[in-house]
Amino acid sequence: MKRAIALALVLLCPAAFAGNTGVIPDGPDSYLIMRTGKTGFVSSSSLQKKAYEEASQFCQSKSLVMQTISMTSKRARPLGGFPEATLRFRCVGQAGSASQSAPTPGSGDKYIQLERLKGLLDSGALTQDEFDREKAKILAQ
């Protein structure tokens, strides 16, 4: 009976079994969050979502906004390769703020956004239609 309950929990609540490093300083103004699924039933997109949520909450606690530097992820692999997601980010001032430290236009900001967006498409977190809509928004800026 205990085995059946444990198996049901693993199958129904895979997010509860996801590993997390918390927020780790990764440089003078950058941070890192790494998440690993503890089962093959956790999707890499759910790990990405949790990492983005945690990073946003971390920056909000400092009255700042989260800016993605990079997001990498791996899907579950056969023979024990569990899914992974790694988010590198920085906390910046809000738009219009005197402490704004985001890149200036033309400094590669669009490239970084497009790279992040492509990573989400490749990981399955975005559909092709969602990717195309967001890409158009970025390029129209």
The residues that bridge with 37 in the sheet, in sequence order, are: 18
Torsion 85-25-55-114 (CA) sign = negative
- Confidence band of 95 (pLDDT split at 50, 70, 90): low
- Confidence band of 31 (pLDDT split at 50, 70, 90): very high
The least confident of 8-17, 43-52, 54-63, 115-124 is 8-17
How distant is the alpha carbon of residue 70 from its chain centre?
8
Are 86 and 111 part of one and the same domain? no
Give the Å distances, CA to CA, from 138 to 51, 92, 109, 113, 133: 22, 19, 10, 7, 9
Q: pTM above the 0.75 mark? A: no
Residues in the chain, total = 141
Mean pLDDT of 24-50: 83
Are 31 and 80 part of one and the same domain? yes
- Confidence band of 11 (pLDDT split at 50, 70, 90): very low
Are 34 and 91 part of one and the same domain? yes
Structural domain boundaries, residue 107: 103-141
Output the 3-class SS for 73-139. EECCECCCECCEEEEEEEEECCCCCCCCCCCCCCCCHHHHHHHHHHHHHHHCCCCHHHHHHHHHHHH
- Number of folded domains in the chain? 2
